[in-house]
Amino acid sequence: MVGEGGKHKNSKTKYSVDFTTLCTLTRQGKSCAYCYVASARRNGEYMAKTVIEYEPYNGFVKKMRPAVIKELNRVGGIRLFSFSDYTPEHRKDIRAFLDDCLEEKLDVKAITKSAEFIRIFQAHGALKLIHLSIDNLARGGSPITFALAKRYRKRYPKVLIRAVALDDVDLEYFGGEDWVDILTLNHCINGFHLFSRRELDQAYKKYPGRVCCKTGVCSTCRVKCGLQ
């Protein structure tokens, strides 16, 4: 939604917030191998996200209806970072957005691969939850090491670890690790395993409260990003 001050329509979360749609890795030509944004653009999909270099925050939170704020809070808050990730140049926009969310009582949940974002913003009152994203790829994946993920999870109460499971081996490994809080499957197929509905149901039963998101939308998800 160009012109919306960083607010985007999101089929899963209703709305999400990004002040660019080009994350730092993408700008460096190092998009994660399972990146759904890069994949859609590369394959020419009709729903591919528009490339936005930068769109400044315009105070849209102040104009949100109370009913919408309540709706978003019921699913853990509005999502920060969906079509990109933390970009240092946009620090002022992020802080202004979070400040408005705090004032308007709109909760925020972030999904990130940036340790810097966590260090700078984890104490902000509007942020209720931060998912630090990892995967099992030696190359073409998250820059967050398992050791750093464990350290941040222990150090910062709001941080949960979100693991991208790209096949059955990943699912079994991450599912067996008690420091991994959320398991996300079918993040982007792009050559990786497509978990069937039956496999999703099995994973949901085997790892209760940890599989995101069986129904495909936050409003009907029981896990609620780990806030349940």
**What count of other Cβ atoms lies within 10 Å of the Cβ of residue 91?**
15
The whole domain housing 23 covers 7-226
- How far is Cα 162 from Cα 101, in angstroms, rounded to an integer? 24
- Digit-by-digit pLDDT tens for the chain (228 residues) are 455 899 999 888 899 999 999 999 899 988 898 998 988 888 787 678 899 999 999 999 999 999 999 999 998 999 999 999 999 999 999 999 999 999 999 999 999 999 999 999 999 999 999 999 999 998 899 999 999 999 999 999 999 999 999 999 999 999 999 999 999 998 766 789 999 999 999 999 999 999 987 777 887 787 888 876
Tokens 């759904």 appear where?
A: 36
200 lies in some domain: yes
13 lies in some domain: yes
Task: Give the count of domains, the chain.
Answer: 1
Q: Is the overall model pTM greater than 0.85, yes or no?
A: yes
1 lies in some domain: no
74 lies in some domain: yes
- How far is Cα 96 from Cα 216, in angstroms, rounded to an integer? 30
CATH number for the domain spanning 67: value is 3.20.20
Residue 161 three-state SS: strand
220 lies in some domain: yes
2 lies in some domain: no
Burial of 97 (0-12, 13-18, 19+ CB in 10 A): buried
Residue 132 three-state SS: strand
15 lies in some domain: yes
112 lies in some domain: yes
